[in-house]
Structure 1
Amino acid sequence: IGRRYGDKATVLAGLLAMLVGELLMTTSASWSMQIAGRLIAGTGGILLSVLMTKMVADWFTGREIATAMAIFVNSWPVGIAISLMLLPWIGARFGLHLVNVAVAGWILIGFGLMALVYRAPEAALSAEGERGSLTLETVYAVIAASSIWCLYNIGLSMIFSFGPSMLVEQGWSMAAAGSTISIVLWLAAISVPLGGFLADRTKRGEAIIVAGCIAFALLTVLLSRSSAVLPIVIAVGAVCGLPAGAIMSLPARVLERKTRAIGMGIFYTVFYAGSPVGSAIGGKLSASIGSASAALDFGAVVLLVCPAILWFFRRIVAGQKRLAFPTT
């Protein structure tokens, strides 16, 4: 879709779909309309995720790509954090209807900024509509990069999904447990762009991915086994975001400008397909063993798989370079 109609037009269509979906949920309380609104808005959100990632890569490939990707993906947890602060207050003060209106207002602001402010780089404009072909090796590399992103996010989601329950099992109140685990989210808002900056500054993005995932995994295991919960939670928040920007910069290493749209489509297809499976496995383990710590241990395991997949990704990239520059 992006290659056919252009990146900016597709993103604007995605924002419009999100707005239509939100307005459907605002104007009708019926179950069918609520489901339809969520499906339409979700479709728009997927268009945004795929195309805007490609647009960031168009601007920053060969420059501060890890920092740019880190700032881009950081908008998700920061947006959630702001929503958790503002929307309950709006709902308590003015009612649920105004909550939906506020969300629609934010979508309109995004639509206006994209329509009036964003400009594509000249090279991207010249490449729009051109058909590039993905080699099998490139597809494998994109799938590997997406698998790393998927497993990393599964590990992160285990903290937010099962961390509070784990603390409740240890005698904490639900309010205290939720507030304590939320520290991870706030600190991640700092550690994500910091990790991207370090990856670009040191040119050691892969080392940051490996070290970050291993440290994150070890702290996750320690969280359910130590009484020093608050220091460990702070350490998790400081470490967990470091690999994000470097991971998201991996596809740009193998995708040409003409193939980024379809390549990022593959990337997000693997990510969206794998994420719910990982969450379901974590929930199943927690229920079968009878402890939320089992889900955290599962998160640690998948984080430790990320460096192994990164090794596979490096092998593919090295093979592509040998083909591009054959020895004589």
Structure 2
Amino acid sequence: MTNRWAELAILAAARVAMGAQFQVVGALGPLLIGSLAADWAQLGTLIGAYSASGVLVALPAGLVMARLGDRAVLLLGVGLMALGGIVLALAGGFGMAMAGRLVSGIGGALLAIACAKMVLDRFSGPALSPALGMMLVAWPSGIGLSLIILPLLGADWRGGLWLSAAVCAGSFVPLWFALPKGAGAGAAPARRGGLLRSEWGPLLSAGAIWGFYNAAFVVALGFTPAVLVSRGWTSEAAGGVTSLISFGILPLLPMGGALAERMGRPILVTVGCMLAMAGCLVAVVAGLAPWPWLLAFGVLAAPPASLVMAMVGRALSAPSRAFGMGVHYTLFYGALAALPPLAGLARDVTGAPAAPLWAAVVFLAIALAAVPVYLRLASRKPA
């Protein structure tokens, strides 16, 4: 297969499986309390554990990818996702559940890093933003499918865990048989020594924006169902309305960033969308009807996704991509490992079901504060 858009579709399908696996704990959350998690902080830890292992493997993965190639890292990642999913489905308590989430998280990290580099190698110029959007849209698609399908299993939370593991195993097949072994047209030999000095500042600041923005998105998805259940909603209804976040992001995610770039206002669109996302969460906390605000939250989350990833891409030259994506995803997974447990702890400490959503608002504020830092540092980077 040599068509780069067909290759992108295969990568996106694997990311759908990754999104579904990531969200399986959040979607089944209330059912796991008392079985795999003792309290809400432990539930948040299981959510964050998927990302915790990425902190340790992201940087080495970038180095390994430079030596062994993208495809090998990609296949290893999907295999570990399936293995970790099986361990989680067999778990009888928190310890084994953590082990399963960590193993599958390592696989998810390898998949994410390889996918991002492969897209940057295959697309550039006007095609980059829509290609990144198509890659990114797969993850919330998987999350949304988890939120809708898993509650239909009722109290059979273990069946939901097995279903997630099976989807990951199934995604290995098209990657093995249909994805070519060659590198993309924009690939270049990795630079010895990693990044140029001028690339560190823009990369780290863009990584901070990406990490806190994604943490807010994940916390909203993971904890909104519990907020609604505390107000008398059934778990099925709460999961269904929360899935509006994931499905709201879908229409604009492939092209929202490209449209903002065409308008010549990518930074203004990014800042405006994040501010409005925070406002939507405040409206839900205030007790307003959740469905329009959660849908709006998802729609508004779309344009910043590809725009911020494009900022990361612009911070890196082609020889720096393998190592640079390892650095970027170290920051990303560090944020997702540390911040959801803090959101869960906020509920345990305050006793307020909506406390995690307030934490998500704070995360968005920090992401916004990092935008001017990126602009200042990027302006100093040589062309």
Partner of 2:306: 245
Q: Contact 1:69 / 1:196 at 8 angstroms: preserved in 2?
A: no
Mean CA deviation greater in 312-321 or 57-66: 57-66
Partner of 1:113: 178
Match among 141, 164, 168 for residue 225 of structure 2: 164
Match among 242, 249, 261 for residue 322 of structure 2: 261
Tell me, yes or no, if structure 1 residue 289 matches structure 2 residue 350: yes
Alignment root-mean-square deviation, CA: 3.1
Return the offset for 1:174. 3.0
| Superposition map of 1:157-196 within 5 A | 157-196=218-257
Determine helix, strand or coil for the equivalent of 1:292: coil
Partner of 2:213: 152
Return the offset for 1:88. 7.8
Determine helix, strand or coil for the equivalent of 2:252: helix
Partner of 1:55: 118
Partner of 2:333: 272
Q: Contact 1:24 / 1:37 at 8 angstroms: preserved in 2?
A: yes
Encode CA deviations 1:217-237: one digit per residue, 9 max, x unaligned: 111111111433222222222
Return the offset for 1:49. 0.9
How many residue pairs align between the two structures? Answer: 315
Partners of 2:153 and 2:290 in 1: CA distance? 32
Partners of 1:87 and 1:172 in 2: CA distance? 17
Provide the TM-score with structure 1 as the length reference. Answer: 0.83
In percent, how many aligned pairs have the same letter? 31
Mean CA deviation greater in 140-149 or 221-230: 221-230
Q: 1:84 to 1:232 in 2, by over 3 A?
A: closer
Instruction: List alignment gaps of at least 5 residues for structure 2.
Output: 1-63
Q: Contact 2:270 / 2:307 at 8 angstroms: preserved in 1?
A: yes
Partner of 1:64: 127
Return the offset for 1:82. 3.7
Partners of 1:25 and 1:62 in 2: CA distance? 42
Q: Contact 2:86 / 2:162 at 8 angstroms: preserved in 1?
A: no
Partners of 2:216 and 2:250 in 1: CA distance? 17
| Superposition map of 1:187-226 within 5 A | 187-226=248-287
Q: 1:22 to 1:132 in 2, by over 3 A?
A: same
Partners of 1:279 and 1:120 in 2: CA distance? 36
Partners of 1:21 and 1:228 in 2: CA distance? 37
Q: 1:247 to 1:21 in 2, by over 3 A?
A: same
Determine helix, strand or coil for the equivalent of 2:250: helix
Return the offset for 1:170. 3.0
Partner of 2:22: none
Q: 1:90 to 1:192 in 2, by over 3 A?
A: same
Partners of 1:280 and 1:20 in 2: CA distance? 24
Larger Rg: 1
Q: Contact 1:150 / 1:274 at 8 angstroms: preserved in 2?
A: yes
Partners of 2:232 and 2:87 in 1: CA distance? 42
Encode CA deviations 1:182-217: one digit per residue, 9 max, x unaligned: 111111222322422323332322222111101101
Instruction: List alignment gaps of at least 5 residues for structure 1.
Output: none
